[in-house]
Amino acid sequence: MSVALVIVSHSKKLAEGVAELTGQMNSGQVQILPAGGTDDGELGTSAPRIGAALEDALAGGHEALILMDLGSAYLSSTLALEFLTEEQRQRVALAEAPLVEGAFLAAFEAASGGSLAEVRAAAEGGHELKKIAD
């Protein structure tokens, strides 16, 4: 069972940019769905947009990992989970991870055939990814 990524951001452009960057880095092997902004195009998050991305990600029996930018993205994501069936919710995880680094590491692990738990752990390892060597 493959793992798709759902990128939740307050900015539609940011979510699309993270999805684009991450998708190019893994040669499109992993389904990456942006769910950014509100339904009227403003900054914010939308549980229905996140829910629609999750439905797409879960189609065909796949699993999904949600990566989020800021705290209220978590609230909207958990609300979106309420609209799924219990069986669908069992195939979704939320990552406590930095958005860009977490998405990159998660996509790499997912492309390697990692389980949902392994993909989540990889994303959460993004906290340790150093940009500048000491």
* Residues acting as catalytic residues: 10
Q: How far is the CA of 52 from the CAs of 26, 47, 85, 92, in angstroms?
A: 23, 9, 13, 13
Task: For residues 83 and 80, give the distance between their C-alpha atoms in angstroms, rounded to a whole number.
Answer: 6
Nearest CA to 4 out of 85, 50, 59, 81 is that of 59
Sign of the alpha-carbon dihedral angle for 42, 124, 103, 51: negative
Task: For residues 40 and 122, give the distance between their C-alpha atoms in angstroms, rounded to a whole number.
Answer: 33
Nearest CA to 33 out of 45, 48, 50 is that of 50
Q: Compute φ and ψ for 118, nearest 5 degrees.
A: -70, -40
